[in-house]
Amino acid sequence: MSFRPSTINLSSLKSSSKSWIARQARDPYVKKRLSDPASYRSRSAFKLLEINDQWDSFLAKPDVKAVVDLGAAPGGWCQVVAAKLGWLHSTTSQEEPVHDAHAIEEVCPERKEERRRPSNSWNKKRKQKVEVEDEEPYDPLNIDDFEPATALTGRGTIVAVDLLKMQPIHGVHAIQADFLAAETGRQIHNLLSVKGNLEGKADIILSDMAANASGNDVHDIESSLEICEAVFDFASQHLRSAERIGRRRGGVLLMKHFEHPLLQKFRVEHLLPNFHDVRYIKPDSSRSASREGYFLCQGWKALED
């Protein structure tokens, strides 16, 4: 079953939504998404593909065993990662039919205001426990620890987190939770802690998280830096080091950010000292009018270990 936007009655929309639809109709990546056999759930998938292709195919390295995708819904980046790790092939035919909240929001931006954070009771129900066995030496290329990729079984662990419920993707463990809540880090850690990765580390951490626009620019700018800082804190606890992986560029953090007066300070104080290679990237597939950009940080030094 493919993942397509729902039909919308145009006459019922505000003029801002109509002009938004017109812009979408002209966007080459929107057209590409609708015609691509992979049926990507989001236009964002092309940003990740583009960054990966340009920068050493970091997603496809054979030693990549654990990937965390923060702000993952509706799941375009997860589809890309799942395909790179052998869980998905060129189409998403193993997925269930879906109701695509994001696709509706693409056509009708006001719907974003209707988003609600999950309740605590839901989070409690969702809490998962994974038995953590005794520590064992980590060997990045020990293929006995992981199932080899086959038509039905990919390799490694993929954990996705979003405030929104995400429809299932083969090979992806999805958590519906607020990444900024303390409990969420523990849930991710539990899912990562499997045989061969008992320390619960990730080889790659991706964040395409964006706070909902509140209409208050000052507040929105602050939220974007708060998210970057939280992602960095999480990475500093969960990213496997380049040394441990045995590659200078091993241990990758790809993080979206929005322009912020303190962003340079953040890059200089947090990213540059802790990674071997830090790049600012504005992919062609990111709209030029958008203030978003990505930091691709490769080679986690784990100075605090």
Ligand X SMILES: C[S@@+](CC[C@H](N)C(=O)[O-])C[C@H]1O[C@@H](n2cnc3c(N)ncnc32)[C@H](O)[C@@H]1O
Q: Contact positions toward ligand X, by CB under 6 A? A: 41-42, 44-45, 71-77, 161-164, 178-180, 208-211
Six token digits for residue 98: 């879906």
- Rounded least distance, CB 139 to ligand X, Å: 31
- Rounded least distance, CB 257 to ligand X, Å: 12
Alpha carbon distance 92, 104 (integer Å): 19
Cβ nearer to ligand X, comparing 82 with 161: 161
- Rounded least distance, CB 107 to ligand X, Å: 15
- Rounded least distance, CB 163 to ligand X, Å: 4
| Cα–chain center distance at 246 | 24
Cα separation values, 261 from 1, 24, 221, 258, 297, Å: 44, 30, 9, 10, 20
Alpha carbon distance 158, 81 (integer Å): 8
CB 67 within 8 A of CB 202: yes
Residues, the chain, total?
305
CB-neighbour burial class of residue 68 (10 A; exposed 0-12, middle 13-18, buried 19+): buried
Rounded CA Rg of the chain: 19
- Rounded least distance, CB 272 to ligand X, Å: 25
Alpha carbon distance 296, 52 (integer Å): 10
- Rounded least distance, CB 194 to ligand X, Å: 23
Cβ nearer to ligand X, comparing 146 with 285: 285
From 14, 65, 256, 265, active-site residue: 256
Type and span of the H or E element at 253: strand 252-258
Cβ nearer to ligand X, comparing 59 with 164: 164
Cβ nearer to ligand X, comparing 53 with 139: 53
Angle at which helix 182-192 crosses helix 217-238, to 10 degrees, equals: 40
Pairing between β-strand 204-207 and β-strand 172-176 as defined by DSSP bridges: unpaired
127 carries an active-site annotation: no
Cβ nearer to ligand X, comparing 76 with 154: 76
State the CB neighbour count (10 A cutoff) for residue 248. Answer: 12
Q: Which among 206, 240, 231, 251 is positioned nearest to 72, based on CA atoms?
A: 206
Helix or strand or coil: residue 130? coil
Cβ nearer to ligand X, comparing 6 with 153: 6
Six token digits for residue 87: 């869980």
Q: Which residues are catalytic?
A: 256
